[in-house]
Amino acid sequence: MVRSDDVSTLPRRRGDAPPRCRRTAPFRRKTLHELTLAEHVVHIVEDAARRAGARRVTRVRLALGLLAHVETDTLLYCCQLAARDSLAADADFQAERSPAQAHCADCGADAELAALPARCPQCGGENLSLQGGEEMRVIDIGIS
């Protein structure tokens, strides 16, 4: 049995592909995360389209919170993959990032955050409590 730790010590012949880089493992895990989410999105979209009597889905718009821990481009790509052989096979998947709400413990200000890392827009402080921004939802679906 060959363990993944031993791959770099295996003898290689000329023309063999190089061993996989260990740095790709986090990328694969993240892609699997997005693919699982994309499969759920396609299931929700297909279910709604069938209830509406649609023959196909033309567009899907998603709202992704700033703190949703989702790579937008990867999710959209995974949605295209997950939608193969479904009513949404030719759909245009789009995503909008929605801001998070924050409350500054230093000055008491409430603000919307559009990017991380975040600072209070009033005082520049970093002592923020975040509220919301973790959502991921289907905003609307175009059907025909």
Residues annotated as binding site?
A: 33, 104, 107, 120, 123
Q: Environment class of residue 99 by beta-carbon count within 10 Å: exposed (0-12), middle (13-18) or buried (19+)?
A: middle
Question: Cα(73)–Cα(65) distance, rounded to whole angstroms?
Answer: 14
- Binding site for Zn(2+), residues? 104, 107, 120, 123
Q: Residue type for 9, please?
A: T
Find the DSSP H helices in 7-125.
Answer: 24-51, 72-82
- Report the first-to-last Cα separation within the chain, whole angstroms: 53
- Binding site for Ni(2+), residues? 33
Backbone φ and ψ for 108, nearest 5 degrees, come out as 85, 5
